[in-house]
Structure 1
Amino acid sequence: MWLVFKKEILELLRDRKTLFFMVALPIVVFPLLFGGAIYFTSQAMSEAQTKTLSYAIVGKQFAPDLVSEFKTVENLDLKELPVGTDTEEQLKAAVKNGSFDFIIAIPENYSANIENSGQIVFKIYLNDAELNSVQSRLSQIIDTFEMQYQREAFARLGMDETQQKTLLDPMIIEKVNVADEREKVGAMIGGMIPYILFLLCLQGAMLPAADIGAGEKERGTLETLLLSPISRTDIVMGKFLTIATAGGVSALVTVLSMAIWSVILSQGMAISFVSNFMASIGLLDVALVFLMLVPIVSMFAAILLSLSIYARSYKEAQGYMTPLVFVVIVPVIIAAVPGIELKGIWAWIPLTNVALAIKELIKGTMDYLQLFAIFGSSVIIAGALIAFCVYWFKQEKVLFR
């Protein structure tokens, strides 16, 4: 078994394509992709906040003070509407064809005397399918006037400050969060970590799995290996260990790479936040997270090797393996759904139970006794899949179909 494992690992290390996907991709490409996505998203958000927006106002005569305030706001360019543009359809068309970024219509009942004017409803015509900050910019101005008019109205009605606060917010819910910082952050990111880890393990194992089984068939080296004085069980186990190692190493390298790049590229508060969160997890929980991945990687390796053995060619093997990505995604997404907890039937569903356990370990709310059942059931499933893989490899009709 170890001789086969050594042979497969050496062949794996000689294959530049495999090394690229196992090492270069996690260390350089993945961080660049994630970093680039975050950078361009932040740039787009920043541009939306600072972009100069052209706008027009309908009903200026009803609120000259408000119009004057709009004119003082930076990055807002007031333009006049074309003559005859007054119906709702014409206003919509003016925004849709790009003549204006937005148009605000001030109602006739606008007045500082709000206790008599009734509710004042502003209409904003804009293309809300695009990234913009129209509503947030206008809300800042209108909220200022709203608060001013409220204070003046309350003063006219003879109410003091306490009565004003009570009338505006007669009932307040004060939230007292008993969760610590680790639990709060863990609840936010705990569902994503198993999703990333599972996919990394699967993707890292797919390429060597396709080559070790179907690839050897195409090259004609499988027959030579079968003629050697090594039992088929040892051959399968050697190949299985190679695939599992590749998947585990790929996930580990990617996680370490992303953690190192996050620290390097982060500054100030971000470094403090990351370091404080990582320090709160503890080595035991980190070790348990990776320990829980062992049976998961074993399941993936056994299934991938079985498919690779069955396939006639490398290309056919890849066709069989690709749908596994969707099979893995579904139970992990279920584990990330709010309200799904490590209780009842969820503790026994493969993949979902491990994903939930990893989430609980990151949050620091894990009942460690449950780990025995989860790890034990996962090991049993992985063992059954490995046994099937051995049986599958011993079938001549499968090897030489």
Structure 2
Amino acid sequence: MFEVFKKEVKELLRDKKTLLFVVALPVLIFPILFGLMGFLMSQANLEAEQKVHIYAITGSQYAPEFSEKIKFHKSFKLSKIKYESIEEMKNAVRTGVLDVGIFISSDARASLTQGLQSNWKVVFNDASALSFIYKRVNDAMKSFSEILQAEKFESLGVSKEQSIALLNPIKIEKIDTADKRENIGEKLGAFIPYLLIPLVLAGASYPAIDLGAGEKERGTLETLLLTPVTRTELVLGKFFTVLASSLMTALITVVSMGFWVSIASNFVDAKIITDVMGTIGVLDLSLILLMLVPLAGIFSSLVLAISIYARTFKEAQNYMGPLSMVAFMPLVVAMMPNMELTMNTAMIPITNVALAIKELIKGTVDYSMVAMIFVATFALAGILMGFCVHWFKKESVLFR
């Protein structure tokens, strides 16, 4: 078995595609992609903040304070065209001449005296990238509403303090018992499994395709079967090669991401993330990496069994797509709101590992649950490995 393992590892290391998937992607391409995504998102947010929107307002004389606030807002510029109706504003927004139209009712002040609400209208395209524009207009409207409230309370002889108490009779003081690690870990902990677990699968997929379907296509599988090595030893040698590749991809990714985060922290303010990552102990970090071992065993068994069944390299690749979709579903379940690590979720493959990683990063993990996950995942990995050995021994599978 060890000789088969050495032979397969040497062949994989000679393959430039393997080095690309196992080394180049985690070390260079993934960090570059994530960095580029972050840069583009920050640029998009910056442009959105700096963009000046063309607006039109009808009935500004009824709410001069509101009109002045919008006029001097850095994000708005008054249109030179006058609009007299809602329909005209709608057409202008549809054609892109106008970004937002504001129609102020003539009873902007008088309605409050009668105990009624004044009905204003804001015309904009809520399906476009400008949907956030409503919030800016709404904030200005709230400021004007506060002015009207203050005027009304003053006319009734109510002091400012009394008006605040009347509008908000209960003041809630938030006392958060979660520390910084738990707060950041709740968000970061959901992202890390979403990155690591697919990489474990990706690191196993390509070598498995080459060691199974690739051997068939090249015609070298028959030669291997004629050697004085049992089929069990042969398939286990291939299995441990795929397992090593899977774990190496995840390990290189973790080290690479840590390196690039440390570099990026010198240029951007990532103190909160680095502080949280610094609080993760050696035990927790070791458990995160160890939990990937049986998970990699599950993935390695599945992809190797699929590769052994496939007739050609291309057919094996076609089978990997549905497998990736199936593997993503438990990850999505783990990211659902209020999904926690319990006795039930600890028995769900992939979901249990993702939830355990999140709890380890938060520092709120129940180590008995981690032990249960290890047992369940190792048991499943052992069953699938046994199936893979049995699968390899079937002539109808090898030479279909």
TM-score by length of 2: 0.94
Pairwise CA distance, 1:269? 7.2
Pairwise CA distance, 1:309? 0.7
Pairwise CA distance, 1:146? 2.9
Cα deviations by residue, 1:54-96 (Å, 9 ceiling, x for unpaired) = 11111233233433333222342212435xx534333211101
Cα deviations by residue, 1:265-290 (Å, 9 ceiling, x for unpaired) = 23577332122101111110010011
Where does residue 271 of structure 1 map in the other structure? 270
Distance 1:355 1:308 in 2: 26
Where does residue 22 of structure 1 map in the other structure? 22
Q: Which secondary structure does the structure 2 equivalent of 1:344 belong to?
A: coil
Residue identity matched to 1:307: I
Answer yes or no: is 1:386 the counterpart of 2:369. Answer: no
Where does residue 253 of structure 1 map in the other structure? 252
Q: Residue 206 of structure 1 contacts residue 304 of structure 1 at CA under 8 Å; is this kept in 2?
A: yes
What does 1:13-92 align with in structure 2 at a 5 Å threshold? 13-81=13-81, 85-92=83-90
Distance 1:129 1:92 in 2: 14
Distance 2:187 2:105 in 1: 43
Cα deviations by residue, 1:207-248 (Å, 9 ceiling, x for unpaired) = 111001110111111111111111211111111111111111
Q: Residue 343 of structure 2 contacts residue 369 of structure 2 at CA under 8 Å; is this kept in 1?
A: no
What does 1:107-256 align with in structure 2 at a 5 Å threshold? 107-111=105-109, 114-116=112-114, 118-132=116-130, 133-256=132-255
Distance 1:395 1:374 in 2: 32
Distance 1:261 1:101 in 2: 41
Distance 1:39 1:117 in 2: 50
> Which piece of structure 1 moves more, 154-163 or 289-298?
154-163
Distance 2:223 2:246 in 1: 26
Q: Which secondary structure does the structure 1 equivalent of 2:55 belong to?
A: strand
Q: Residue 201 of structure 1 contacts residue 250 of structure 1 at CA under 8 Å; is this kept in 2?
A: yes
Q: Which secondary structure does the structure 2 equivalent of 1:350 belong to?
A: coil
Where does residue 287 of structure 1 map in the other structure? 286
Q: Indicate the RMSD between aligned Cα atoms, in angstroms.
A: 1.9
Distance 1:368 1:192 in 2: 21
Distance 1:58 1:156 in 2: 28
Distance 2:335 2:309 in 1: 34
Q: Residue 111 of structure 2 contacts residue 118 of structure 2 at CA under 8 Å; is this kept in 1?
A: no
Aligned residue pair count: 399
Q: Residue 296 of structure 1 contacts residue 351 of structure 1 at CA under 8 Å; is this kept in 2?
A: yes
Q: Percent identity?
A: 46
Residue identity matched to 2:296: V
Q: Which secondary structure does the structure 2 equivalent of 1:55 belong to?
A: strand
Pairwise CA distance, 1:382? 0.4
What does 1:348-367 align with in structure 2 at a 5 Å threshold? 348-367=347-366
Residue identity matched to 2:38: I
Pairwise CA distance, 1:336? 1.7
Q: Residue 58 of structure 2 contacts residue 102 of structure 2 at CA under 8 Å; is this kept in 1?
A: yes
Unpaired runs of 5+ residues, structure 1, are none
Distance 2:335 2:363 in 1: 16
Residue identity matched to 2:229: I
Distance 1:139 1:208 in 2: 56
Where does residue 319 of structure 1 map in the other structure? 318
TM-score by length of 1: 0.94
Q: Residue 110 of structure 1 contacts residue 117 of structure 1 at CA under 8 Å; is this kept in 2?
A: no
Where does residue 93 of structure 2 map in the other structure? 95
> Which piece of structure 1 moves more, 141-150 or 344-353?
141-150
> Which piece of structure 1 moves more, 39-48 or 93-102?
39-48
Unpaired runs of 5+ residues, structure 2, are none
